Structure 1
Amino acid sequence: MLKIALRVLLLLAVIVGVFVLWLAWPDTAKLPVEAVAGTRPDITAPRTQTFPTIKVADAIGWPAGKTPVAAAGLKVAAFAEGLDHPRWLYRLPNGDVLVAETNSPPREGGGIQGWVMNLLMGKAGAGIPSANRITLLRDANGDGVAEQRSVFMTGLNSPFGMALMDGQLYIANTDALVRVPYRDGQTRIDAKPETLVKLNPAGNHWARNVIAARDGKSLFVSVGSSSNIAENGMAAEKYRANILQVTPDGGWRIFAAGLRNPVGMALNPVTGNLWTVVNERDMLGSDLAPDYLTQVEFGDHFGWPWYYWGGYRDDRVEPRNPALQEYSKRPDYALGPHVAALGLTFAGDVKLGDRWASGAFVGEHGSWNRKPVSGYKVVYVPFAGNGYPEKAVKPVDVLTGFLDTDGKAMGRPVGVIGDKTGALLVADDVGNKVWRVSVGN
C-alpha cells in the first residue's frame, strides 16, 4: 500500500508540475513590434496569462570603447560617465543639465507580478539602492562633454521629475512634490525642500514626473498605478494612474485618469498642449497591450484598468465598468507592446536636421515580459503640420545597439531632452552614462 501511495503522490506531483510549467510557459509574440505600433495598431485577441512571460535582458554595462548606434546622419558620444543609475534629465535656463541619479524604493507586495519583478529587476540593473541625488552637469567650453560636475541636491526620496517655475525648482520625489528656491547659475542647493503635495507611496510604479503647464501658473504631476490591473482593489489606486494638476499654493485636481503609468510628459511646440507616454498593462500576451504616446486634455479617461486602446475590455477586471467603455479615449499613437516608453521630448527642443524637425523623441527602456524583447532604444515619431502623428507611419529608430549579440543589456535609455545646442541627451541607467546624439557621421 505504501508503494502505491508513493506512486500516486509522485504522479500527482508530476501532473501539478506539468500544469504549473504550462501556466508559466512564456508567450511568444505572433506579430512584430511594428505591427502593434502607429495610429492604427493591430489589436489581436488577448492571451491571458496566470504567470507573466519572463524575458529580461541581463544588465552588463558598456565594454570599453563601445557606444550605442545612431541613425544615419547622426553621431553619438558620451556627454557624462560614471553616474549612479541616471534616470531623468532637466535643462536649466543657462544650459546646465540636472540628472536625477535614482532608483525604486524597496518594493512591497504587488502580487505575482510584484514578486517576479522583485526577483528579476536586479538582474535587469534596477535592483540597486537609490542614490537619491540630483547632479549638475556643465559643458562650459561647448565641446559636447560635461567637464564640470557637482552634487546639486541630496537627501531626496527616489527623485525623478524636475521643473523650474517662478524661481522655484520643483522635484517629484516618489512620495511628494517638493520645491526649493533656485537662482540662475547655482551649482548646489542646501535648502531643505518644502513639501507642496504629498503623493501616494510607490507601489509597482514609483517614478513621478513633473512639468510646468503652458501658462506658467500650474504644474502637471504624473502618478502611476500601484498594480497591473487594480488586482488589489480600486481603493489602493486612489489618486493613481492619473496626471494631476497642481498650483503653487498647494491646490490640486485630477487632470486626466485611466493612465496606467504615465511617465514622460512634454508640451507640443505646435499646439502647446500636454502629451505623455504611457506603459500599458501586462499578462495579456507578448502582443498586447501597446504602450502609447498621446495628447492629454482635462477630463480625459484612457480606460485603465477596465479598458485598453480606446475601449477593448479587459475581462480580468472585476467589477466591470460598462458605462466607461464609450468614454475611454483612444490614444493617438501606439509605440508597440511592452517597450516601456519612459522618456519624451519634442523636436524644437531637439534640433537634428530636417529629417527630425517635426515629431517626438521617445526613450524606450525595454521589456521584461515579452518574447522576443522589445524597446531598448530611442525612437522618433514623425508629426504632421497639425501637431499630431503622421498616419500610417511607424516609429523611426534614432539610437539603437543597447543590446549585445547575446541579447544582454549594455544600456537602457530612459529620459531624453535637448541640450543647449539642440543635441539629444539620453539618460542610460544601466550604462551609467548620459549619451549625446548630434548631427554628423
Structure 2
Amino acid sequence: MTVTQRRLPALAAAAALLLAGAAAAQAPQNIDKLKQFKVSGTDLNIPPVPQEGRNANAIRENLKRVKLPPGFRIDLFAVVPDARHMAVAPSTNMLFVGTRKTTVWAVTDRNSDGIADEVKPFAPSLKFQVPNGVCWTKDGFLIVVEHNRILNFPAAEFFYEGPDVAVIPVVEQGKLIPVEEESFNHGARVCRVGPDGMLYVSLGQPFNVQPREKLKLYTEVGIGGMVRMNAFDGSKREVYATGIRNSVGHDFNPKDGTLWFTDNQTDGMGDDIPNGEINRITAKGQFFGYPWIQGKTRITEHGYDKDPLPANVTAAQVLTEAHAADLGMAFYTGRQFPAKYQGGFFSAQHGSWNRTKPNGAQVLFTSLKADGTADKTEVFASGWLDESTGLFRGRPVDVAPMKDGSLLISDDFAGAIYRVTYVGDAPR
C-alpha cells in the first residue's frame, strides 16, 4: 500500500468534516437570503419519492389486515418517509407533513383522484431540525414548529415547487426553549392556530419525570405545558396550560373553541399504569396534574407521591390504555362519514415500546356529549399490530380530515399516509 493509499481514508474523513461544516454554515445564510427574497443557489430540481414499486405494494398488502367499521375502506394515499404530523392545505389538493428528522414533505394529489401523485421535500434550501409540527393560520400561512425554532411560510401551498420560499422567523433558533434544556427526548412539537388567531404550541418536558429543581423554570417557560403567541412574530407569548408531560397532539373543537390534547404517560411503572390521557382546556391557566399525578396514578419518582395532591388539578376527559402512546388528534369536520362521527374527534395511538405485551397502533374515535365533554371512546381502525407475533406493521401518528370528508392517517414506521373513505354498501 502506498503512502497516498494510506492517506485516502483520512483525506475522505477530512473532506466529510469540511462538507458538514459547510452545510451547517449554509443553513443560517440561506434563511437570511430567503427573508430578503434572494436565491440560495440550491439545485432547482427536487427529486420526488417513488410512489410505486415493491415498497408501495407491500404497504397495500399490509392494509388488508386493517379492521374498520362496516362501510369504510382504507387505501394507501402516499409513500412518505418518516411521516408524522399533517397540515391539509386550505385551497389546493395537497398537504404538508412533518418528520422527526430534517425534512418537511409536500404531498400533492395533482389529478384529484384520492391518491398522491408527488411527494417531495419542502424548502430544501433550509436545514430543518425535528420539524414535527405543521399547521395553518386562518389566511393560509404554513407554520413549521421545530425542536427549538418556529418558522412561518406565506402561501406555501402555491410557492412550494422550488427550493427557495418566502419565510418569516416567528421564534429564532434557540429561543423556543432554553438551549440547555434541549434533549433528544420529547422534542417533537405540535401546533394549532386557535379561533383567536394565536399560535398554540405544546412543549414536552425532556425527562421521564422532571426533577424538582426544574419545576420553577419549566412552569415559567411552558415546558411540560402549552404556550401561545402571535403566529407571525412570536410576540405576546404566554404560558397557556401546565402540568402536562408530553403532548404530541392537540386540536380545537370548532363548535365551542375549547382546546383538546393527548398526553403520554410515565414509563417504568408497569404495564397497566399510568393511563394515557386526552384532556380539554376551557380557560387559560389550567393545570393538569403532572408530575404529581397522571390518570389516576400518583407518580413515585422524586417522591412526588409523598406530596399533597395539588388542589387545582383538571381531570382528564378520556383515560386510555397505558403506554399505547396517544399522539395526533383532530376533530372531524367533514360530512362524508355517518352522522355519529360528525362533531367528535379521531386520535392516533402510536403503540407501546416498553410494555411486555405490546398495545396501541390503532385509531380511536371519541364522541361528545351535548355539553361539549367526552362521551364514548371506541376503536375505529386497528390491525397494524400483528397479534400473532407481537410485531408492528405500522404505527399511526396523526389524523387529518380532508376537504372531501375522507380521513388521512400518517404512519412513521411504514413511511406512509393512508386515506379512509366511507363507501357504504359499495364493495371494498
- The normalised TM-score by structure 2 is 0.75
Decide which of 211, 223, 230 is 2:192's aligned counterpart: 211
Classify the secondary structure of the residue corresponding to 1:280: coil
Distance 1:62 1:70, change over 3 A: farther
Report what 2:384 is aligned to.
402
Say if 2:334 and 2:404, in contact at 8 Å, map to a contact too. no
Shift of 1:181: 2.2
Q: Deviations over 1:28-49 (max 9, x none)?
A: xxxxxxxxxxxxxxxxxxxxxx
- Tell me how far apart the structure 2 counterparts of residues 84 and 347 of structure 1 sit (CA, whole Å): 25
Separation (CA, whole Å) in 1 of partners of 2:83 and 2:135: 17
Question: Normalising by the residue count of structure 1, what TM-score does the alignment of the two structures yield?
Answer: 0.73
> What is the CA-CA distance between 1:64 and the residue it aligns to?
5.9
Say if 2:222 is the partner of 1:224: no
Letter in 2 for 1:347: Y
SS at match of 1:317: helix
Note the C-alpha offset of 1:190. Answer: 1.6
**CA positional deviation for 1:186:** 2.9
2:132 to 152, 160, 164: 160
1:196 and 2:182 are equivalent in the alignment: no
Partner SS state of residue 361, structure 1:
strand
Q: Which runs of 5+ in 2 are unaligned?
A: 1-56
Match of 1:112 in 2: none
2:61 maps to amino acid: G
Q: Deviations over 1:19-76 (max 9, x none)?
A: xxxxxxxxxxxxxxxxxxxxxxxxxxxxxxxxxxxxxxxxxx9566221332222100
Match of 2:351 in 1: 366
Offset of 1:304 from its aligned partner? 1.0
1:77 alignment partner, one of 59, 75, 78: 75
How far the C-alpha of 1:255 sits from its partner, in A, is: 0.2
**Displacement of 1:153 after TM fit?**
2.3
CA spacing shift, 1:199–1:350, aligned 2, 3 Å:
farther
Deviations along 1:248-299, whole A, 9 cap, x unmatched? Answer: 3322111000110111111112212111111121222111111111111310
In 2, Cα distance between equivalents of 1:167 and 1:64: 33
Tell me: CA distance 1:319–1:437, structure 2 relative to 1, closer, same or farther (3 Å). Answer: closer
What residue in structure 1 maps to residue 114 of structure 2? 144
Amino acid at match of 1:156: F
- State how 1:49-128 maps to structure 2 within 5 Å: 62=58, 65-67=61-63, 68-81=66-79, 83-103=80-100
Give 1:232 deviation, angstroms: 7.7
Q: Are 1:291 and 1:335, in contact at CA under 8 Å, matched by a contact in 2?
A: yes
Structure 2 counterpart of 1:69, which letter? K
Q: Return the match for 1:299 from 270, 282, 285.
A: 285
In structure 2, C-alpha distance between the alignment counterparts of 1:329 and 1:64, rounded to whole Å? 42
1:379-438 Cα offsets, whole Å, 9 max, x none, are: 111212222211xx3x32221110223121111000110112110100011111100001
Overall identity of the aligned pairs, in %: 26
Q: How many residues align?
A: 348
Offset, 1:321: 8.4
Going from structure 1 to structure 2, the CA distance change for 1:93 and 1:167 (only over 3 Å counts) comes to closer
- Structure 1 residue ranges, 4+ long, deviating more than 6 angstroms after superposition: none
Task: Report the counterpart of residue 274 of structure 1 in structure 2.
Answer: 259
Offset of residue 363 of structure 1:
0.6
Q: Which amino acid aligns with 1:335?
A: T
Hey, what does 1:44 align to over in structure 2?
none
8 Å contact from structure 1 (residues 172, 208) kept in 2: yes
Distance 1:356 1:418 in 2: 12
Deviation of 1:179 after TM superposition, in Å, equals 1.6
Question: Using CA pairs below 8 Å that are at least 6 residues apart, which structure has the higher relative contact order?
Answer: 1
What SS does structure 2 have at the residue aligned with 1:146?
A: coil
